[in-house]
Chains A and B, each alone.
Chain A
Amino acid sequence: MPNRSSGPRVGLFVTCLADMFRPSVAFATVKLLEQAGCQVEVPERQTCCGQPAFNSGDRKTTADIARQTIDAFDGYEYVVGPSGSCIGMLHYYPEVFDPSDRYYQRALELKNRSFEITSFLFDVIGMDSLQEQLKQLQFNHKVTYHDSCSGLRQLGIKQQPRELLAQVEGVELEEMEEAETCCGFGGTFCVKYPEISNRMVSNKTDYISNTGAHTVLGGDLGCLLNMAGKLKREGKTIEARHIVEVLAGMTDIPAIGEADYDLAQQL
């Protein structure tokens, strides 16, 4: 259903992991944005933010992808995505170009209008316009929240998801020890140094279990796939979800790594 509201035009940055692994996270993001009065569009020419190239030292590919993304999101008032890591990568684009490059200014300008979803809702839209919708939700579980590294340390996302969650009826937030410590995903790190990554994610699942939470929530699918995959391998029943699923009232969808689920049924 196309949205005809008169609010800001927002380009959705889908992110590769939401695109491939968990489209419901992107749908939940759209729903939240529309509820907040935005007109949401999904630019066709987006692929990945370019982080794999950036972190592998491939400057040329990074710049190519940055240009493609800057072009794809030209003209939107805001660019919003369900990941601190990918939006954080968009914020690195100015570093990719020489200040004399004509894309440099455009990169700066994209940086200023791109937001991770919880930060967009809380910092840009504001609680006043959201409270009513959020108050109607219910999620009767103890949850714990993992702070993903880029969101936390690059974008300063800490209280935003917590403030939003606090509005949802039934949510009991129990903070885990070392919530701010990396889960060991790190993009290609987890396959380049699997044993170290495994130690880091094992520490993380211990901290998660110690809270007695029913669900671990987070804002980045990379970390969530990593933590969910480890929890499953350890035979633990703790569920893992992206926070937007709770905020959009889409928790009837099986949690990450849970039983088979056919996307088509829901749409």
Chain B
Amino acid sequence: MQINTPFFKQRAHDALHDANLQKALGNLKAGFPEKRAIAVSRMPEFEELRNQGRDLKNHIMEHLDLYLEQFEAKVIENGGHVHWARTTDDANQIILDICKQVDAKTVTKGKSMVTEEIGLNDFLEANGIQPVETDLGEYILQLRHDHPSHIIAPAIHLNLEDVSEAFHANHHRPKSMDPAVLMQEAREVLREKFVAADVGITGANFCVAESGSTIIVTNEGNGDLTQTLPKTHIVVTSIEKVVPTLEDMTLFLRLLARSATGQEFSVYNTLSTGPRREGDQDGPENFHVVLVDNGRSEMVGTEFQDMLRCIRCSACMNHCPVYGAVGGHSYGWVYPGPMGSVLTPQMIGIEKGGMLPNASTFCGKCESVCPVKIPLPKLMRHWREDEFEKHLQPKAARYGLAGWAFLAKRPALYKPYTRMASWLMKTWAGKNGRIKKLPLAGGWTDWRDMPAPQGKTFMQAWKEQQKAGEQP
């Protein structure tokens, strides 16, 4: 996928002026955060569950190699195949090779952010294979040549009108604004695709080491058809998704559903354990798991290891006031919101991704809702440290900071300087008590008044008061 992260500011500007998008974003707040709050309030032990989730993930990351090898051995034992993909190119090539082996023309796809990360659809198309998204949101996006703006509600930036138009243009049926009619239409069109597909590709929410199973969690059921109807099922997922046991998996399922959509449990929780066995009613003949690394193993043992706990629930973006203002596309790459601001620089480089970890007030709301307690602001700050060390920040910001630091480290200079600055601002404000336009502070005064200082600094006034008090 094209990297537009360096244009974050411009994209955010456009997003703020896009009335349709703003309307769509307005629905987000009323949706996810409120439902999550209700679900959490119904579960007194939720906090304890978060601690368990955090600790278990930490344990897994300490023994990641062990659990991955156990998972691989189990998949093979079940008759499946495991492929290790260090880079996105490796992953795409592996998937293409499997498709070629079975002479695939079309593949159906369940919702998967990892396949977005590796840019699979474009790659398959370029190689003559037609991917068909079967998650409703993803399907709409595919018709519109669009990309997800949210990790679990990919088309959240669209309104009903947009969907209606996309269907009308592609399905050649009468235009409808009735969601039920549109849903039926999608079902009919997709049903043919399900039956015709040679390969089904899904992601995985978790990979279970003890059984060699992968699981997908959905609310539409499209994933089940995607993975059971074609002869070949390819699971494309990433290395940090492994959990030791089925029981461990259920801990994360409980956290995930509540944090994501406020459900106690998602509608479909579908486990895949190897290819179809003798006597099985359904299932694929070939079962492949592609385990993508793409920078993740480099995070192990660093300050960014905490990020590998992420279970992709989207709570951080649902509660983020910056995401809520500018939407997911402003972030300019696959993963938006706070989790994206930490992951993206890891995957595309801090040189290109630096805008993102800076676009945060560090309000801490994301960390407070994260089901596995990832310290997202702290990790964004680590990226800023990386930027600072590499001198990547804009010159004006660097010199400004250096000038301020020079004074802040010298109390004897700092005091006269602040006295002068306060006095100047107060004089500039005149009798108004506030400043409408302040040179060099346009970022502030373009949008709001600058309340004027009271005149003296406290340090100055305090000293004078103490002196006066000492006199008899």
CB within 8 Å of B: which residues of A?
A: 1-2, 14, 16, 18-24, 26-27, 42, 44-48, 50, 52-59, 61, 64-65, 68, 149-150, 153-154, 180-182, 184-201, 203, 225-226, 228-230, 232-233, 254, 256-264, 267
The reply to whether B421 and A267 contact each other, CB–CB distance below 8 Å, is no
- Which of B381, B434, B450, B451 is packed against the most chain A CB atoms within 10 Å? B451
B147-155, B178-186, B355-363: which lies at the interface: B355-363
Contact of A61 among B383, B405, B431, B461 (CB under 8 A): B405
Q: Are A22 and B409 CB-contacts (below 8 A) given A56-B393, A57-B387, A194-B447?
A: no
* 14 examples of A-B residue contacts, CB within 8 angstroms: A2-B466, A20-B422, A27-B462, A44-B459, A47-B410, A48-B414, A52-B404, A57-B385, A65-B409, A181-B321, A189-B362, A233-B449, A256-B451, A263-B454
The reply to whether A59 and B448 contact each other, CB–CB distance below 8 Å, is no
- Which of A19, A50, A153, A226 is packed against the most chain B CB atoms within 10 Å? A19
Residues of B within 8 Å of A150, CB to CB, are 364
Q: Which residue of B lies closest to A221 (CB)?
A: B451
Chain B residues 443 to 457 lying within 8 A of chain A, measured CB to CB, are 443-444, 446-457
| B386 at interface by CB-CB < 8 Å | yes
Interface string of B415-434 (1 = CB under 8 A from A): 00010011000000111111
The reply to whether B451 and A228 contact each other, CB–CB distance below 8 Å, is yes
Residues of B within 8 Å of A18, CB to CB, are 458
Sample of 20 further A-B pairs with CB below 8 A, known A57-B389, A61-B405, A149-B363: A1-B469, A14-B459, A19-B458, A21-B451, A22-B453, A27-B462, A58-B388, A59-B385, A68-B409, A149-B362, A189-B360, A195-B12, A228-B449, A229-B434, A229-B450, A230-B447, A232-B451, A257-B452, A260-B432, A262-B455
Q: Are A189 and B444 CB-contacts (below 8 A) given A57-B381, A229-B451?
A: no
The reply to whether A197 and B459 contact each other, CB–CB distance below 8 Å, is no
In the complex, what's the smallest C-beta–C-beta distance from B15 to chain A, in angstroms?
9
| B241 at interface by CB-CB < 8 Å | no
Residues of B within 8 Å of A198, CB to CB, are 447-448
Residues of A within 8 Å of B457, CB to CB, are 19-20, 23
Contact of B429 among A14, A180, A201, A260 (CB under 8 A): A260
Residues of B within 8 Å of A186, CB to CB, are 360-363
Q: Which residue of A lies closest to B411 (CB)?
A: A45
| B441 at interface by CB-CB < 8 Å | yes
In the complex, what's the smallest C-beta–C-beta distance from B399 to chain A, in angstroms?
12
In the complex, what's the smallest C-beta–C-beta distance from A13 to chain B, in angstroms?
11
- Interface size class for chain B? 35 or more
Residues of B within 8 Å of A50, CB to CB, are 408
Q: Are A190 and B444 CB-contacts (below 8 A) given A1-B469, A22-B453, A52-B401?
A: yes
Chain B residues 30 to 88 lying within 8 A of chain A, measured CB to CB, are none
The reply to whether B449 and A153 contact each other, CB–CB distance below 8 Å, is no
Residues of A within 8 Å of B444, CB to CB, are 190-191, 194, 229
The reply to whether B401 and A56 contact each other, CB–CB distance below 8 Å, is yes
A228 to B387 alpha-carbon distance, docked (Å): 33
The reply to whether B418 and A20 contact each other, CB–CB distance below 8 Å, is yes
A201 to B421 alpha-carbon distance, docked (Å): 25
A191 to B440 alpha-carbon distance, docked (Å): 10
Residues of B within 8 Å of A259, CB to CB, are 431-433
Closest 5 CB pairs of A and B: A186-B361, A191-B443, A57-B384, A257-B451, A182-B363
Q: Which residue of B lies closest to A152 (CB)?
A: B364
The reply to whether B408 and A47 contact each other, CB–CB distance below 8 Å, is yes
In the complex, what's the smallest C-beta–C-beta distance from B449 to chain A, in angstroms?
4
Q: Which residue of A lies closest to B458 (CB)?
A: A23
A228 to B365 alpha-carbon distance, docked (Å): 23
Residues of B within 8 Å of A188, CB to CB, are 397
Q: Are A196 and B453 CB-contacts (below 8 A) given A21-B422, A230-B447, A260-B430?
A: no
Residues of B within 8 Å of A232, CB to CB, are 434, 448-449, 451
The reply to whether B364 and A154 contact each other, CB–CB distance below 8 Å, is yes
Q: Are A2 and B449 CB-contacts (below 8 A) given A42-B462, A57-B386, A194-B444?
A: no
- Which of B381, B387, B418, B462 is packed against the most chain A CB atoms within 10 Å? B462
Q: Which residue of B lies closest to A199 (CB)?
A: B325
In the complex, what's the smallest C-beta–C-beta distance from B461 to chain A, in angstroms?
5
A101 to B375 alpha-carbon distance, docked (Å): 24
A258 to B453 alpha-carbon distance, docked (Å): 11
The reply to whether B325 and A267 contact each other, CB–CB distance below 8 Å, is no
The reply to whether A193 and B321 contact each other, CB–CB distance below 8 Å, is no
In the complex, what's the smallest C-beta–C-beta distance from B132 to chain A, in angstroms?
37
| B225 at interface by CB-CB < 8 Å | no
Q: Are A229 and B448 CB-contacts (below 8 A) given A57-B387, A181-B321?
A: yes
A201 to B325 alpha-carbon distance, docked (Å): 11
Q: Which residue of B lies closest to A3 (CB)?
A: B469
Residues of B within 8 Å of A68, CB to CB, are 409, 411
In the complex, what's the smallest C-beta–C-beta distance from B437 to chain A, in angstroms?
11
Residues of A within 8 Å of B441, CB to CB, are 191
Q: Which residue of A lies closest to B421 (CB)?
A: A20
Residues of B within 8 Å of A23, CB to CB, are 454, 456-458, 461-462
Chain B residues 324 to 356 lying within 8 A of chain A, measured CB to CB, are 325-326
Residues of B within 8 Å of A256, CB to CB, are 451
Q: Are A182 and B361 CB-contacts (below 8 A) given A50-B408, A233-B447?
A: yes
| B407 at interface by CB-CB < 8 Å | yes
